Amino acid sequence: MSASVNQVITGTVPRHVAIIMDGNNRWAKQRHLPGVAGHKAGVSSVRQTIEGCVEQGVEVLTLFAFSSENWKRPEGEVRGLMDLFMLSLDREVKKLHRHGIRLNIIGDRQRFSARLQQKMAAAEALTAGNEGLVLNIAANYGGRWDIVQAARQVAQSCLEGELQLSDLDESMFDGFTTLAGLPEPDLCIRTGGEQRISNFLIWQMAYTELYFCDCYWPDFGKVELGKAIESFASRQRRFGKTSDQVGA
């Protein structure tokens, strides 16, 4: 039985859920609307998903909002997305703060306008002390970029004598990535019917469970989130071990 809006999944709940919010353009195209209309409609799905994660007891939610490849989209759509991002920061951050949610924005901010960068920093500062759900928004983010920027920091630390190369291991390297200090994603959801991760958190998702659903992002909400978490709870995570070892 699928989870209803108010039903809390019993059993294993992922600590960290990552979502590739896909299908906004196709949702709009079906309705003969401009692409940015789909992105605007998707804001409601973001709200529902945040609420659902809080209700289910998820600790961390990471949303792929704008990839480093999305700059290739039509200029009008990109401009509309930037305006929507600005508007969402104005309207939503105080609500997040009231509910104890901590906002982090991950990605390369240098390409954004100075005004948008200021709003990002202010939003993070406002919510920095909150102890509820950690909400990561990936904007101008790419998994390969994340690994490269971490490698640059490692190299700089070695040059400055702060780190010996022989001491470097996976755990130490992880400390230089954008999600350092947070649990790795347990579950990655992708809407829109595509079945790929599109350069999202490729360092962090080595053992993440993948869940693909056909609904477009503006149609995603608490019910679909419940279905994804229910699927996750039914799986056996082995991390390289055998089924017998895990079940022992």
User: Residue 220: is its pLDDT beyond 70?
Assistant: yes
C-alpha of 97 from chain center? 18
Instruction: Return the closest-CA partner of residue 27 out of 193, 138, 189.
Output: 193
Which long-range contacts link 90-97 to residues 24+ away (Cβ below 8 Å)? 90/119, 92/43, 92/47, 93/123, 93/126, 93/127, 94/126, 96/50, 96/127, 96/130, 96/135, 97/126, 97/127, 97/130
- Domain ranges for the chain, please list them: 16-142+184-235
User: Residue 8: is its pLDDT beyond 70?
Assistant: no
User: Residue 6: is its pLDDT beyond 50?
Assistant: no
Lowest mean pLDDT among 34-38, 193-197, 225-229: 34-38
Distance CA 124, CA 12 (A): 30
If you average pLDDT over every residue of the chain, what do you get? 92
Count of Cβ atoms closer than 10 Å to residue 83 Cβ: 14
Which residues, listed in sequence order, are joined to residue 189 by a DSSP beta bridge?
19, 211
SS3 state of residue 100? coil
Fill in the amino acid letter for 24: N
Let me know: does 32 contact 75? Beta carbons within 8 Å.
no
Distance CA 141, CA 179 (A): 12
Fill in the amino acid letter for 176: F
Give the residue numbers marked as catalytic.
22, 70
Instruction: Return the closest-CA partner of residue 154 out of 133, 171, 168.
Output: 168
pLDDT tens readout for residues 194-209: 999 999 999 999 999 9
pLDDT tens readout for residues 103-136: 999 999 999 999 999 999 999 999 999 999 999 9
Read off the pLDDT band of 1 (50, 70, 90). Answer: very low
> What's the fold here for domain 16-142+184-235?
Undecaprenyl pyrophosphate synthetase (3.40.1180)
